[in-house]
Amino acid sequence: MAPTSDPDSSLVPRGLPIETDAFGNEIVRFGSGRPLTLIAVRRDVPAYFVTSITPEGYLRVQNQGSSPSLLWDQFQIGRRVFVTTKDGRVLPGVVAAPNTHFRRGDDVPIPEATVDDIWVDVGAENDKQARAMGIENLCTVTQIDGYSGADVRRRERVIGPGAGILCGAQLAAEAERTLGQTKASWNRSVVFAWIAQGSAGGRGAETLAHTLHPDQAIVIAPYIPSPGDSAAYPDTAWGAAIVTTGSKSPSTLEWAEAVGSQLQAKSTNGRWDPVGAALDRAGVPTIQVQPIVRYVGTPGEMAVMAYNDQVGGTAGESLGDWLLSWLEALPSPPRLVARPNVKPFVPVSAMRAVTSWPPTAQTSESHQTTWRILAPLVHAQGISEHEEAVRDTVLRLLPASLRSVVDPHGNVIVRWGKGKPRRAFMAHMDEIGYRVTGVDRDGRLRTEKKGGFYDWLYEGETVRRGDGQLAVVAPRADYLVRPRPTIDSPLSDRHRVAPSGFKGLPDSLVRIDPGNLFADESKDWRGAQITVVKSLAHLGEDRVAGRSLDDRFGCTALILALRQLANERAPKDGCVLFAFTVEEETGLRGAEKLSDDLLAAGELPPLVHAVDTFVSSDTPLEDPRYAHALLGKGCVIRAVDTGSAAPKEAVEAVRRVAANHFIPLQFGVTSGGNDGQPFAARGSVNVPLGWPLRYSHTQVETADLRDLEALARLVTELARTRPGTE
Ligand SMILES: [Zn+2]
């Protein structure tokens, strides 16, 4: 699937005589003579074009054509994107989002972004680096890389941006393949067309109207309820085929009636697809045949390839069959090859995301060791209280020569050396996410939040539970409805008062949709832990982005340090304790229990270092007044945060160790609590350490591996240093 105006034939079936016209439309003709029926489907997804690159290396963009939904720009914020370079390579990028830690609670920015709020981060430190990566103006930014790898079969459900278009194209392809052996002498014409710039006002269709002069047209396009026709969740469920026409012209109505009665389709009012509208404007009688799509115009569009598969309908009526029936019902029908066998219903578990981010495997040569520890830790899913997968990964990555213990609370403890702990380091294993608390009658899931984050970052997003099954977070019910509130500088701190009647997406309305129709089908989701589909991407040479860098970076720093220390002579007059803790995001509970245990055993370390995120204002969306630690400039002492202030002398001691070993170190004030707090409350000195992180608690947390490696060296040197001798 190509972005608008960028030709790509991945959706067009191969092995057929394809003609490409000057506009970029791909067409295949069957038969000759009149009447000529055009069967049209879009072949592009909405894209943004790079319009400038800032001195800090961010890409600014402009969209082209109509957005797939009113909140489409909003759905880019904090999301993963694909950036196509001038030489055709596809790079991962992320769209900046405000740090959750800086504006929690009532102080939430109103989530109604426009294209003005889109800042694309490709890991470049400046515009020169971005250009060296092959990016220039007019390069495209999309949420989908291409469908060529997507193996979508009949009767399956697919989720991802543009899933409805993909379904339509697959159905057209299926009908077309079946027509493949038709004799050319057939005394009428059917022309299949994959329309270029279809998303941009159906422009390619306009061209075809003038070159082919079709007598009638069928447009296959995702079903979008018109504003008066309720919300994004069609009451048709996954039921009958839908035929819509948005025109009042008599020839169109006649054409619609003929098709509708011939084929028992459910006829309804729906929104015109841009391709349908363009053909209608050109005077071609046009109907739309519509795959049912939930949440159209969101990144988590959910489309179904078949109809009537669950609610008492026929066993295998699909839109593809429907098209074939129409062809067979024509006067002197074409000779069709055998209809494909109807496969048994593929359950919802077979839903697949059409997205595959990042688009490229890791390329950087300089951080291989770090990457090999960090990547498996990030890919493991561990919502607070469900840290098992992360714990198993930590245990696997720790050096075998050091003994690791899992304490009764689930924390992993490693002691380097003998005697009572003289110093301790802690990194947390858990991450934020949802937990399923109940099931609605329609099969959608109610949730509770684990940790603090903006629900709107998950709106319309594909999510997964621990075992990999996919679902979509339903967008707010009115996301397709005009008028929308007008808000200046939506993501800035300035204008935060919502217009009356504005609802946004309050916590209580968040529903997760595993693609079912009834409560019964969803019951095995109770208690499930849910987050986005996890991935880790290299952004440029040194940076990475992914969900849960907070605190898998911290875990990685501790593991790197332990791998180093494992080869050295361990201290005998007091050990260094390393803890990988649970339940930090939900209230520092793992660290609290650990500090209790150590205190009871007379082993409370005099000095502790929580190793966790330094939420940084090094982004275009934040004020540099505070938390301005820069990515790539070293690790950071979290001297002051929401929950702690380190004693000045202890901070100085850490600075001296870093300086003696030429470790780049920053220090500052940021927001958030840390695992050292319960220790400090019991009498330890707490000097939290971290690294600068952008876009905290989003799916695109971004940080620099050089800072992580500096942090690992600092942890190593501090472990070697007896407190008081710094
Ligand atoms: Zn954290």
pLDDT at 267: 62
Q: Compute the distance from residue 478 Cα to the ligand 1 centre, in Å.
A: 34
pLDDT at 489: 64
The DSSP code for 19 is: E
Express each pLDDT in 200-212 by its tens digit: 788 899 999 999 9
Confidence of residue 340 (pLDDT cuts 50, 70, 90): very low
pLDDT of 156 over the 90 cut = no
Confidence of residue 503 (pLDDT cuts 50, 70, 90): low
The DSSP code for 383 is: B
pLDDT of 525 over the 80 cut = yes
DSSP for 414-463? EEESSSS-SEEEEEE--B-EEEEEEE-TTS-EEEEEES---GGGSTT-EE
Q: In one letter, which amino acid is 618?
A: D
Q: Where are the alpha helices (DSSP H) in 449-579?
A: 549-565
Q: Compute the distance from residue 82 Cα to the ligand 1 centre, in Å.
A: 27
CB atoms within 10 A of CB 328: 12
pLDDT of 217 over the 80 cut = yes
Confidence of residue 318 (pLDDT cuts 50, 70, 90): low
Residue matched to tokens 């070697």:
720
**pLDDT over 90, % of the chain:** 47
Instruction: Give the CA count within 13 Å in the CB-facing half-sphere of 696.
Output: 26
Max CA pair span of the chain: 95
CB atoms within 10 A of CB 469: 18
- Residues 66, 199 contacting (CB under 8 angstroms): yes
Q: Compute the distance from residue 428 Cα to the ligand 1 centre, in Å.
A: 7
Express each pLDDT in 644-654 by its tens digit: 889 999 999 99
Confidence of residue 5 (pLDDT cuts 50, 70, 90): very low
pLDDT at 19: 85
Helix, strand, or coil here: 159?
A: strand
More confident residue, 313 or 387: 387
pLDDT at 564: 97
Confidence of residue 339 (pLDDT cuts 50, 70, 90): very low
Q: What are the b/e assignments for 437-447, b being 16+ CB within 10 Å?
A: eebeeebbbbb
Express each pLDDT in 665-702 by its tens digit: 998 888 888 999 999 999 999 999 999 999 999 999 99
CB atoms within 10 A of CB 404: 17
pLDDT of 528 over the 80 cut = yes
pTM beyond 0.85, yes or no: yes
> In the numeric block, which tokens belong to residue 442?
């329609």
pLDDT (mean) for 253-282 = 76
pLDDT (mean) for 348-371 = 73
Q: Compute the distance from residue 551 Cα to the ligand 1 centre, in Å.
A: 5
pLDDT of 329 over the 90 cut = no
Confidence of residue 110 (pLDDT cuts 50, 70, 90): low
pLDDT of 64 over the 90 cut = no
pLDDT of 338 over the 50 cut = no
Confidence of residue 582 (pLDDT cuts 50, 70, 90): very high
- Determine the angle formed by the axes of helices 388-397 and 549-565, rounding to 10 degrees: 30
Q: Domains of the chain (ranges plus CATH)?
A: 2-43+147-341 (3.40.630.10), 48-142 (2.40.30.40), 368-431+547-720 (3.40.630.10)
Q: Compute the distance from residue 378 Cα to the ligand 1 centre, in Å.
A: 13
Q: Compute the distance from residue 607 Cα to the ligand 1 centre, in Å.
A: 20
What is the three-state SS of 26-41?
Answer: EEEEECCCCCEEEEEE
- Work out the end-to-end distance of the chain between its first and last CA atoms, rounded to an integer number of angstroms: 59
CB atoms within 10 A of CB 675: 33
Distance between CA atoms of residues 681 and 676, nearest Å: 9
- Residues 420, 576 contacting (CB under 8 angstroms): no
pLDDT (mean) for 178-193 = 68
Pairing of strands 242-244, 293-294: unpaired
pLDDT of 52 over the 90 cut = yes
- Residues 689, 711 contacting (CB under 8 angstroms): yes
Distance between CA atoms of residues 83 and 132, nearest Å: 14
CB proximity list for 601: less than 8 A, separation 6 or greater: none
At residue 157, φ and ψ (nearest 5 deg) are -110, 140
pLDDT (mean) for 430-457 = 92
pLDDT of 71 over the 80 cut = yes
pLDDT of 477 over the 60 cut = yes
Q: Compute the distance from residue 383 Cα to the ligand 1 centre, in Å.
A: 12
Q: Compute the distance from residue 118 Cα to the ligand 1 centre, in Å.
A: 26
Q: Look at 370-379, 512-521, 581-590 and tell me which has the smallest mean pLDDT.
A: 512-521
For the ranges 4-8, 51-55, 505-509, the maximum mean pLDDT occurs at 51-55
Residue matched to tokens 């952004």:
539
Q: Compute the distance from residue 722 Cα to the ligand 1 centre, in Å.
A: 27
Distance between CA atoms of residues 414 and 711, nearest Å: 19
At residue 257, φ and ψ (nearest 5 deg) are -65, -40
More confident residue, 252 or 226: 252
pLDDT at 309: 39
pLDDT of 283 over the 70 cut = yes
Distance between CA atoms of residues 304 and 238, nearest Å: 8
pLDDT at 343: 38
Instruction: Give the CA count within 13 Å in the CB-facing half-sphere of 407.
Output: 20
Pairing of strands 80-84, 90-95: antiparallel
Residue among 457, 411, 409, 413 nearest 432 (CA): 457
Q: Compute the distance from residue 453 Cα to the ligand 1 centre, in Å.
A: 12
Distance between CA atoms of residues 239 and 194, nearest Å: 26
